[in-house]
Amino acid sequence: MKKFILGFFVAAMVFAGGNTANAQGKYGPDSANCVTYLSYYREYFKQKNYDSALPNWRKAISICAPTANQYLLLDGTTLVRRLIAKNAANKEYKAALIDTLLTLHDLRVKAYPKYAVAAINNKGLDINTYFKGNSQRIYDGLEEVIAANKEQTKLSILVNNLNAAIELFRDGKMDADKVIETYQRNVAIVKEVQPSKEVSQEDIDKTKSDIEGLFITSKVASCDNLIALFTPRFEADPENIDLASSIVKMMSNASTQEEDCVNNDLFLRATTLMHRNEPSAQSAYYLYRLNSAQGNVAEAEKFIEEAVRLSENVEPKVAADYNMQYANFCLANGQKAKAVAAAQKAVDLDESLSPEANFVMGSVWGATTCGGDEIARRAPYWVATDYMQKARVGADEKLLEKINTSIAKYRAYFPSTQDAFMYNLTDGESYTVSCGGMRAVTTVRTQK
C-alpha cells in the first residue's frame, strides 16, 4: 500500500512541476521505461486481466508524466475502483485509495483540459459513490463540480447535490434558505441544458421533475420558511419579475391539503406583479383564488373569467379545471346560464370531470324557478334529478353523498300522481322544460 501511494504521488509531483515535465517530454524523465510499462499494463488491461495489469500500471504511474497517455489516468480509475471494492473492510487503505482515485481525476483535468468537463463530472460521481453517509463531503465536493461545469454538469450530480443539502438540513447542519438557494440554482442549470447525443430531452425533463419532487417531499420549503425567506427580499426588490416567479412557483408547490401556502399577502403581491407584466391563465387563476378567499367577488369573477379566456393556450386538463372552477363560482353566485356553459365546456375538455359537471348542472336546474302551472313549476326538479343521476357515474364518495342528498331533496318536490293526472300526464312520459334561458327534455315522475 505505502509503495503504491508513494509512487503515485511522485508522479503527481512530477506533473505539478509543469515546465520541468514539459522540458523532459510528454513521457517524463525516464521515457524508455515509461513506454515499456505503459505497453505492458495496457496489453493486460485490454484483455481484462486486471490483476496482471495492476502492478505494471503502478510502475507506469510512478515513472511516467501524466501527459504520457490519457489512458494511464482513465484506466487507473478503473483499477483503483476495483482495489477499493476489494479492500472495503480496510478503512485506512480504502480512504487512501479513494483519495488516489480523486487525484487521478484532478491530474486528468490538468493534463488534458479538453476533457476537463468529463473528468470533473466523473470525480463528482465518485464522490457521491464513495462518501455515502458523509453528506457534508458530498455536498462540498459536488458544489465544486457544479461551480466548474455549470450547465455541463452531469444531471445526476445536480440531483445528488440537492439531496445532500436536504440531508444536512435534516441534521441541523444547513439552513433552509441555503437548501432553497441550492434548489433554485440547480433547477436554473437544468433549464440551460440543451439536448445532445449524450442527453435527451426526456433525461432533462426527468431530472427537473426529480429535483422538484425531491425538494417538495423534503418539507424544507414549508410555508413559514418561504414567507420568512422571501418577504424581505421581495420588499427590497418589489419589481423583480424573476423573484416573483420563483415565489409563486415555490409557494404553489409547497401547498398541500394540510397547509395552504397561497392564501397570504406575499403570494398575492408576487402573483399580481407577474400578472401585470405577463398575464397568464395560471396567474389569473391564482388571483381568482386569492380574491375569492378574501370575499372580493367582483375581483374574483374578473380573474376567473380571464383564466378561462387565457386557458386556450394551456393543456386541456388544466383548461378544463379552470372552467370547472368557473362553473362552481357562477353556481355559488347565482349566474346559472354561465355555470351550465362553463360546466359543459369543462366536460368537453376532460370527460373525467363529468360527475362534478353534471352535479353543477343539476344544481342549477334545482335552483331554477319557473313560472306557469303546477307542473311547469315542478318540472325543473325532474331535470335536476336527471343530471344528478348522471353525476353518480364515477363520482367519489364525498361527491356521491352530496348527490344523494340533492336527489332526495328534489324528489320531495315532484308532483303527486293526482296533480299529474289533472294535466293529463303519467309517469314515464316525455316532457320539455324551457325556463330561464335553458331548455331540456326530461321524463315525468310523480311522488310514490
Helix (H) or strand (E) holding 443: strand 438-443
Mean pLDDT, residues 171-194: 92
pLDDT tier, 317 (very low <50, low <70, confident <90, very high otherwise): very high
Tell which wins on pLDDT, 242 or 104.
Answer: 104
C-alpha–C-alpha distance, residues 341 and 318, integer Å: 17
pLDDT at 200: 93
pTM for this predicted structure? 0.64
Angle made by CA atoms 413, 415, 416, in degrees to the nearest 5: 120
- The residue assigned the cell 362534478 is 356
3-state helix, strand, coil in the chain (%, to 5): 75, 5, 20
pLDDT at 228: 85
Using DSSP's 3-state secondary structure scheme, residue 391 falls into helix
pLDDT at 219: 79
Asked whether the predicted pLDDT for residue 5 surpasses 70, the reply is no
pLDDT tier, 224 (very low <50, low <70, confident <90, very high otherwise): confident
For residue 415, what is the DSSP state? P
- The residue assigned the cell 445532445 is 196
Cell numbers given for 394: 364515477
pLDDT tier, 203 (very low <50, low <70, confident <90, very high otherwise): very high
